[in-house]
Structures are given as structure tokens and as C-alpha cells.
Chain A
Amino acid sequence: MNNIYTVADNIITSLGFTSKENFDNLKLGKSGIKQTVDPKITQIPMYCSRVESERLNAEFKKISNPDNYTRLEKMMILSISDSLQQTTIDPSKQDTLFVFSSVKGNIDLIEDENHPFDKERINLWAISDQVCKFFNSSVKPVFISNACISGVTAIIVGTEYLKKGKYKNVIVCGGDVISEFTPSGFQSFKAVSDHPCKPFDANRTGITLGEGVGTIIFSSDKEIVQEANPVIFRGGANTNDANHISGPSRTGDGLYYAIRNTLTEAGKTNTEIDYISGHGTATPYNDEMESKAIKWAELDHVPVNSLKSYWGHTLGAAGIIECIAGIHSIKENCLIETAGYSEHGVSEPINVIKEFNETEVKNFLKTASGFGGSNAAAYFSELNAD
């Protein structure tokens, strides 16, 4: 089978506009979560992680007219542009596929009746149309909206095309923006934390929302790989709890099956994983369920973190930017601490990373879970891991 190489990546969040800027901030333990009282977003003071609008428009002006694109489209176009600059890939060629993930897309348009865009622009497929047009791609894109696992699903689906040899390169890009829509909904669920979220902690009370975009370019073409020991994608799987549309399984069965199927796909066992990039939304139920699935998979000794306490829960971006952080953990041989975690608060004794440490990282597992009962996992490792 072809190796699936990661050849470039980008993250745009409150912590920066490149993967390096973001990862450097994570290493320093710097969180992008701040309190906001912006009435366009929330009726009560709320913690969240937002992309700086002035910087977004200033950066975007360097490549195109910001008035022609929505906030999410600008972030996606910038993120893909930065990723492409790290490679020799020509995105307009027929051998390159775009795969997108977003939960709510241009949802900010629904709240603004005077927006300058076409009525159709609210549709998710309109985003991929705009972005593909910007990069002169005529290949029909793929768009995934799978709640909070969207980003991991996009990686799994996109890389499948490289395995089959149908395309040479796949650009996976996912993201979501914060407007009033999502915060008000999670507030109505009483699921928003009144402090920056505390994944896996005894005092966790809910999520902190975030916005952002992530891009990973995968390729099966060895010629374009610049590193001697690149990080490769090994496999992944999606499953469903079949339990409840808005509450996770009590046993962790769905996520456990996703991990098990991912290891089978990757041709790996649970003994080789050096790090788990958890979902860790910091809701009482999610983190508890996740600890059970990790224990069930006999991975409770493996260092695990959640990066939601730096970036917030960025929905369609989360799976992608967390995988990028994992890729950089392998490249820089270090593990990021779980900000906000101090007192163990899940029933299983999982090994939550308490402080930044430098250690050898060759393999990591990403997990994700979401509304609709969905779960996903993905396995990455460095080429010379075995």
C-alpha cells in the first residue's frame, strides 16, 4: 500500500496564523481563551477563543479582497495558501482533491440579514465552491458535516482516496466560526463552562467554544516529501454509539470500537502508542466516557491531553488542528500539558499530561466524539517508527 505522507499544515486560531506560531504558544502553555461580553456573540459574559478580525483582514488583503469572502472562507483560503507555500503542489491540477469539514459553515450569515452575499452562500457546499474557485481547482470537492468529529472524518475519508490511488494529493481543510448561534445553543444546554474549560478535571463544568481553521496536505507522492522521516497517516475509523443524539455512551463502547478499528486499519497494536490526543471537551459526560473507552482499549497508561483549554472547541477545525499538534509533537518530541487539569476527575486512571515534557514521540492516536453519537479515531506515526 502507498504511504500517506503529511507534507504541509497550517492552523489559524486565537493563538496564531501558522502551525508554528500555534505550537510555540502551546509549548509555552499559553491559552487563547478570553472572556467576551460582545453582544453579537453572547447575552452573558462568556469565555471563548476567537480569531483576531483585524489581523485576519490584514493578512487576507495580501492575497485577495476581503469583502468578497465570508469570515470562514477567508480563514480557509489563508490556511490553504500558507500550507501550499510549503509544497510544490499545484492545486489546480486534476491529481489534487479538496476535502472540507465544517459543522455550521457560514452560519454567521443567518444572523445578519444585511450581509452582502448571495442567498445560497449559507449552504455548506457554497463554501467549498468559493474556496476551490480561488485555487482554480475543477475537481469536485468533498464536504463533510459530522458534528464534532467532522475534522477527523475528513482526514479518514480524504486519505482513502490516496490509498486507492485515485488522487496524488489531498488538501483537508476544516473550520468553524463563532457567532451567536452556537454559543446560545450550548448555553441553553447548560454545557458552557463559566471559566476556561478544564478537561478531565474534577471541577470541569462544560465546554469553552473556539473558532479556527486547520489544513493538512496529504500526499502519496514520495518525490514531494522534504523530510527524511516524515509523519505518515496510518489509518482511522468512524463509529456510532447508537445511544443518544446529544449524550455520549455511558460505557464508551462507540469510541472503543473506533480505536479498535483504527488499530486494525493501521496494522498496529495498542502497545506502540506514545501519545493520545484526546477529545476532552470538559463536559462531565464526554470526558468520563472517553476515560472508559481509553481504559477499555488498555491505553490508560499512555499520556493523553486535550487541547480544548487552549483553542476552545473549534468544532469542524478541532480534529484537524489537534492532529496537526500531534504531528508537531512527533517532530519536536514533546508533549503538551492539559491546561486547566489539576485534580483527576474521571473514573478511570488515565494518564492525563500535567506538565509539558520532552520525550520521544513516534506514534499518536487521535480520538473524537460528537452529537449524533459519532466517534472517530486516527493513527499517525513517523515513517521510521517501526
Chain B
Amino acid sequence: MTNIISKYCIIKPHEVIVDGKTEFIDQEKNKFGAFMKSVYKHYEVKYPKYFKMDNLCKVAFIASEIVLKGNEHIKEIDPVKVGVILQNSHSSLDTDTKYNDTIKDKSNYFPSPAVFVYTLPNVMIGEICIRNKFQGENTCFIAKEFDIDFITDHVNELLDSNKLEACITGWADYIDGEYSAILFLVEKNKENKKDNISFKPEFINRLIK
């Protein structure tokens, strides 16, 4: 049986697309921080820890909140059977650069643990797991571009082998003011509904183009 996309979300500059429909547009074309804050408000996310996150975590986290909205049944699944598998290009380089600025100048040396902890790309996965108490397979893959063939192959294997029942998966990247997230909530197809979209490269390529 194929695995299906229960919901997907694309965040790109000034725009949020959910299941193929533009749900939010920032006409003022604000910078990342202000744009994401308006998305946070629009979707009524209530999670003060969000404001401590670095920008990579913010874009991944908000996309995960959007795909989980209306899918509360995911939280009924055994937490060890819900995974988060993401891919990204620039790792945590944006925060790495910010952190490096705090140690570069020896006369102005102030390394901060609160910044250092975000110099790991898989922390975005940790944030999503903490928020939702997901405890299953979690891996951060790095590739120059979103490798849909690879991600679908890996995630479908985790679902087909029953290691997972559901998975938040896709792409999240942030570097120097440029950002994108393409997140999917993928589940095993239990009801065999007609309008289900299979989590396969040929369908995904159509969705995200």
C-alpha cells in the first residue's frame, strides 16, 4: 500500500502555500523576521519558545505547525512511531556565521551558549519533536538541492517497514535572508480515499513546481 501526503506546506518569500492553495501573502514584502511573525499570528501558533529559535528552526517549525493543524490524530500515535526527516542545503551556516562573529574579535569575545546550540542543523528536528513529543526516527540530510527521489525513498522505507506510522518530512533552508520550506505530513494509507496523493516523486514534482 502506498503512503500518502495528508497535508503539505510551502513557505517561500512572502507566501505560504498549503495543499496547493496560497493561504497567506505578505503584500508589504517584509523581511524574514517580520514575515514569519505575521505567519505565526495568522495561524494562531502559541509557542513562546518560537521566539528563541534561530531562523532555520523558525521556518521549519512554522511549516510543521501548519501541516499538523487539523491533524491532531497524529498525537494519538505511539510517539516512537512518528518521525521527522528533513533535508537542507546550507546546514546551520547562517547561525554559524553569527556565532563566529562573537569569537572573531578577541577584544570583543562573547561566545553565547544560546547561539551556539543552534549551530547544528538537526536542532530544527529537535524543536519539532519537543513541541509535539515525537520520538521516532529523526535524521537531517544535507544536499545542494532538495532531492525528492532520495527523501521519498528513505521515508517510504521507514513507513513500509513499520518503523514509522507517520512522518514530517521535506526541506527547510535559511541563509542570509533567503529561505524556503517544503514540508509534508506523510502517513500510511489506511482508508484508501480516492483523492489521496501518494508520497512519490512523480506526484511531488507536480505539487511543488
Contact = CB atoms under 8 A, between A and B. Distances in A.
Contacts of A143: 141-143
A342 interface: no
A142 B134 CA distance: 24
Contacts of B201: none
Which residue, of A145, A153, A186, A253, has the highest number of chain B Cβ atoms within 10 A?
Answer: A145
Interface string A254-266: 1001000100000
B137 A237 contact: yes
Contact of A124 (B79, B91, B113, B157): B91
B130 interface: yes
Interface residues of A, number: 49
A111 B122 contact: no
B97 interface: yes
Contacts of A146: 122, 138-140
B116 A189 contact: yes
Interface string B124-142: 0111011011111111111
Contacts of B163: 237, 261
Contacts of A188: 111-113, 116
Interface string A134-175: 000000101111110000010001001000100000000000
A66 B97 CA distance: 26
A244 interface: yes
Interface string B24-50: 000000000000000000000000000
B127 A245 contact: yes
A125 B142 contact: yes
A244 B130 contact: yes
Contact of B125 (A184, A187, A240): A240
B120 A145 contact: yes
Given A43-B109, A188-B111, A239-B80, A145 B123 contact: no
Contacts of A147: 120, 122-123
Closest 3 CB pairs of A and B: A372-B126, A185-B116, A188-B111
18 contacts: A43-B106, A103-B120, A123-B142, A125-B89, A125-B144, A184-B116, A185-B119, A239-B80, A241-B135, A246-B117, A257-B135, A371-B123, A372-B120, A372-B123, A372-B125, A372-B126, A372-B138, A374-B125
Interface of B: 79-80, 84, 89-91, 93, 96-97, 99-100, 103-104, 106, 109, 111-113, 116-117, 119-123, 125-127, 129-130, 132-144, 147, 150, 154, 157, 163
Given A105-B91, A188-B116, A242-B132, 17 more contacts: A103-B120, A104-B96, A110-B100, A123-B89, A123-B90, A123-B91, A124-B142, A144-B139, A145-B141, A147-B123, A180-B103, A185-B116, A239-B136, A240-B135, A241-B129, A243-B130, A257-B135
